[in-house]
């Protein structure tokens, strides 16, 4: 350090850089920069690092349940089973979460999706489990799941019917919330079918109030499909909200949904998440190993819920490897709770992408995502990450589980296979003003 220099923190350097940053297309190149350090209110660049990362208002939800300090993790029945569910599948899935060790990694919600109920309410207007597929009832199933130290999720709809034309909860919010609580449900996914054309801003708050009054703490997952931009209003209503329509098990669907969810990165945080770029398709067979690795990496970086959507009773070793990566899961569950975003585009039609976001401990997560059909070198530049070019960074590869650079400066490059994603933790060292 030169005599008389003043050591400054990495946070302060980020402030200096973020104030000056702007969305630009660099002259003479095909690289577009999307500044990482934008304010959460979408109103331009923040003048204060602490404003950028201020989480004091996150979690102050009218739902008042204290949940979702990190994105939810678990399993959901829909992506693989659809309507072909029964209590045996749910029990065996709970057992598999335990036996595989996935539960120990945080996958604790066992969420039943549509088709659990009978086609009509009973004579007292109550929802009834399908007697053929859930003969023991939901209460007994919840007791079984709780006996495994897991949590049970249930499904309903903010319409007169569910998407598979079972009774919905519109105009039955109080009775249904009380029923779910009496069964011991820990999670409610609340869908958007057969909604009579009523605005979701009118239909979703009544269930919030009903859950508040139920006497049980229940995670409230709003599945509104992004129709009326729930990121703008749902953090006062639920613990998470869908920002897109349904995912399917394909590269085209997954990448499209990632792009749609990226738009709302400023609005997520502890207590309320852009939860649903939808459930994970990892392991369902429609994408390659590399594509599933990208899927899991970007969902983790975006602080999306990690809700497994495959049959974990019969998953392959490759699927388990992806879903059980502790380092990637730690990115998703990082307590700072800032959603990562797309920050740099290059290559044909912007298919060489850098995604990133801040983590606790003065770190960054950086993903090099090759959405092109050919392998290529992708470079993350410090300017795009909000780092001073002279900052020295150590780099940990989260998929190779090794340090790949100890003192990287200015930029970092890697050869990335087609449709693959490499994921890293950048840990900057302190530098001094004399070095700038």
Just list the catalytic residues.
Answer: 191, 246
How distant, in Å, are the alpha carbons of 217, 296, 379 from that of 352? 43, 18, 9
For residue 153, give the nearest of 43, 40, 265, 67 by alpha carbon.
67
Residue that is written with structure tokens 């909000």 in the block: 386
User: Is the CB of residue 370 less than 8 Å from the CB of residue 419?
Assistant: yes
Residue 302 has, within 13 A of its CA and on its CB side, a CA count of 29
User: Is the CB of residue 185 less than 8 Å from the CB of residue 157?
Assistant: no
- Cα separation, 94 vs 107, in Å, equals 10
Nearest 5°: CA angle at 416, between 413 and 421? Answer: 105
Work out whether strand 352-359 and strand 363-370 pair parallel, antiparallel, or are unpaired: antiparallel
Strand partners, 219: 187
DSSP letter for each residue of 114-139 = SS-B-SS--TTS---B-TTT-TTHHH
User: Is the CB of residue 195 less than 8 Å from the CB of residue 170?
Assistant: yes
User: Between helices 137-147 and 173-183, what is the axis angle to 10°?
Assistant: 50
Alpha helix positions (H), 45-151: 49-52, 78-81, 87-99, 137-147
Question: Residue 29 belongs to what H/E stretch?
Answer: none
């Amino acid at each position: 350090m030169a005599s008389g220099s003043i050591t400054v923190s990495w946070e302060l350097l980020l402030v200096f850089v973020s104030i000056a940053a702007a969305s630009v297309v660099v002259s003479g190149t095909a690289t577009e920069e999307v500044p990482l350090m934008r304010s959460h209110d979408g109103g331009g660049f923040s003048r204060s690092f602490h404003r950028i990362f201020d989480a004091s208002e996150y979690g102050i939800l009218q739902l008042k349940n204290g949940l979702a300090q990190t994105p939810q993790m678990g399993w959901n029945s829909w992506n693989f089973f659809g309507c072909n569910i029964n209590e045996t599948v749910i029990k065996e899935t709970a057992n598999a979460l335990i036996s595989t060790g996935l539960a120990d990694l945080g996958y604790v919600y066992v969420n039943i999706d549509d088709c659990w109920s009978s086609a009509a309410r009973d004579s007292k207007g109550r929802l009834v489990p399908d007697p053929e597929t859930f003969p023991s009832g939901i209460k007994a199933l919840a007791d079984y799941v709780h006996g495994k130290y897991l949590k049970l999720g249930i499904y309903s709809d903010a319409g007169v019917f569910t998407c598979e034309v079972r009774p919905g909860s519109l105009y039955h919010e109080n009775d249904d919330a009380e029923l779910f609580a009496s069964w011991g449900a820990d999670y409610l996914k609340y869908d958007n079918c057969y909604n009579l054309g009523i605005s979701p801003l009118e239909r979703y708050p009544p269930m919030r109030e009903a859950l508040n009054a139920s006497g049980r703490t229940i995670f409230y997952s709003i599945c509104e499909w992004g129709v009326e931009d729930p990121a703008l209003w749902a953090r006062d209503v639920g613990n998470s909200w869908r920002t897109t329509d349904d995912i399917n098990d394909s590269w085209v669907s997954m990448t499209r949904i990632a792009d749609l969810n990226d738009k709302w990165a400023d609005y997520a945080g502890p207590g309320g998440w852009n939860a649903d770029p939808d459930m994970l398709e990892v392991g369902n067979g429609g994408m390659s190993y590399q594509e599933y690795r990208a899927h899991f990496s970007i969902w983790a970086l975006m602080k999306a819920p990690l809700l497994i959507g495959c049959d974990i009773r019969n998953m392959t070793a490759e699927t388990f490897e992806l879903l059980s990566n502790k380092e990637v899961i730690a990115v998703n569950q990082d307590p700072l709770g800032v959603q990562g975003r797309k920050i740099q585009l290059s290559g044909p039609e912007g298919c060489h992408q850098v995604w990133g976001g801040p983590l606790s401990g003065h770190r960054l997560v950086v993903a090099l995502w090759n959405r092109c059909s050919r392998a290529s070198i992708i470079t993350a530049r410090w300017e795009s990450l909000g780092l001073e070019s002279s900052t020295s960074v150590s780099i940990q590869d989260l998929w190779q589980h090794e340090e790949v650079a100890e003192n990287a400066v200015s930029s970092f490059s890697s050869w990335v296979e087609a449709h693959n994603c490499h994921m890293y933790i950048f840990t900057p060292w302190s530098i001094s003003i004399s070095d700038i």
